[in-house]
Structure 1
Amino acid sequence: MSSVKAPPVVILGIIALFLYWVVQDPVGAAAMIHGVFDWLLGFLQLMAERIVQFLSALT
């Protein structure tokens, strides 16, 4: 099985669009990035709590 890889042109295009968006709307871009990090940290906190609950249930 071969993995599907995006051509470098597509990746460069996505990066260029992201940078263009950051230049055009830095406040919106910062809010979106902040939201993504908030979601990621919330997910990691939830997983840590579940792991602690699981380990405490074993003892």
Structure 2
Amino acid sequence: MQLPAYLRMLVGAERSLADAYRAVASANPDEADVRFTCTGFASDSGRHARRAGARRGAV
């Protein structure tokens, strides 16, 4: 079954997305709305990666 491979790809993509959001937030310290929004999105992506990684072990 291909599901474990796809979950690994999902976890990697979510981690990359979280890193990208953190980079945008760091690059815009004077833009409070950008920093706040990107930090929130990074947190969401990190949580998604952790949850998908935990499910990967159950597959």
TM-score, structure 1 normalization = 0.48
Asked which structure has the greater RCO (Cα within 8 Å, sep 6+), the reply is 2
Point out the structure with max Rg over C-alpha: 1
